[in-house]
Amino acid sequence: MEENKTNVFAILDGKIADHIRRILVADGRSNLVGETSKPEFDRIKSSNAEILISAGYDHIVPESVLDSFERAINAHWSLLPYGRGENPNVWSIIDDHPAGVTIHEMLPEVDAGPVIAQREVPVNPDDTGRDLYERLIDEQIDLFASTWPSIRHGDYESSPNSSQDGTYHRRSEFDELCELPIEKEMSMKRCIDILRALTFEPYKNAYFEQDGHRYYVTIDISQENE
């Protein structure tokens, strides 16, 4: 007897969107009945899908929308509860906390909900924000692909994701970090960590201002050949 297909609605944005879409479409046991990258909550609620998948979407989904689905799952590019909120690749370097990726059930709070699967990603001394971002996205795609069958069946165990632990950062904190305090004394390690965390070509992030002009700063770190 042929297995009934599971209807899925996806909220996808950013670099990861195409990869998650391909995984869902290629599955063969699920129907991707709708997709958006915008807060089209009425459309999402009326999709009649069993499962909601979110990846790369950086806004809160209301509880009334989440309650419309049997399961609502988010793929987040940090090792929760560390790196909740914005730019976890940057804050893993700045805060010196573990980096990684997490698949978790969704709650109406930011990056909350029980953890289904996690994978730690090492942070290297020569990593820039972009280097770490690229590895996190690759790992996130791989973790979702391996976890999706059990999510579709609802056949998984979850563990607590305590909002009282870990770290959380807003976009405004990233904006403040970008303005370099050139008169402030700090350790060389702290200075290097800020610059490498904010180096993300082709974007201009770190800067200082002097004599009415703004100057952007990036860093290039290379390991000595053995």
User: Where in the chain are the domains?
Assistant: 6-168, 169-216
Nearest to 87 by CA among 10, 172, 145: 172
| Predicted confidence (pLDDT) per residue in 171-185, tens digit | 999 999 999 999 999
- What percentage of the chain has pLDDT greater than the value 70? 98
Query: Does the pLDDT of residue 226 top 70, yes or no?
Result: no
- What percentage of the chain exceeds 90 in pLDDT? 92
Q: In what order do the strands lie in the sheet with 115-121?
A: 30-36, 6-12, 51-55, 71-76, 99-105, 115-121
What mean pLDDT do residues 38-54 have? Answer: 96
* pLDDT tens sequence across 77-108: 999 999 999 999 999 999 999 999 999 999 99
Q: Which pLDDT belongs to residue 115?
A: 97
Q: Is the pLDDT of residue 1 over 60?
A: no
71-76 and 6-12 beta bridge pairing? unpaired
pLDDT at residue 44 is higher than 60: yes
Q: What is the tens place of the pLDDT at every residue in 105-149?
A: 999 999 999 999 999 999 999 999 999 999 999 999 999 999 999
Q: Give the residue-averaged pLDDT of 66-71.
A: 97
φ, ψ of residue 222 in degrees (nearest 5): -130, 145
Of 46, 47, 72, nearest in space to 61 by CA: 72
67 pLDDT higher than 80: yes
The identity of residue 205, as a single letter, is: N
Confidence of residue 33 (pLDDT cuts 50, 70, 90): very high
- CATH fold group of domain 6-168: Rossmann fold (3.40.50)
Is 3 a residue whose pLDDT tops 90?
no
Q: Judging by DSSP bridges, how do beta strands 207-210 and 213-216 pair with one another?
A: antiparallel
- Whether the model clears a pTM of 0.85, i.e. scores above it, the answer is yes
Cβ atoms within 10 A of the Cβ of 108, count?
A: 15
Q: What is the pLDDT of residue 4?
A: 82
Q: What is the pLDDT of residue 2?
A: 42
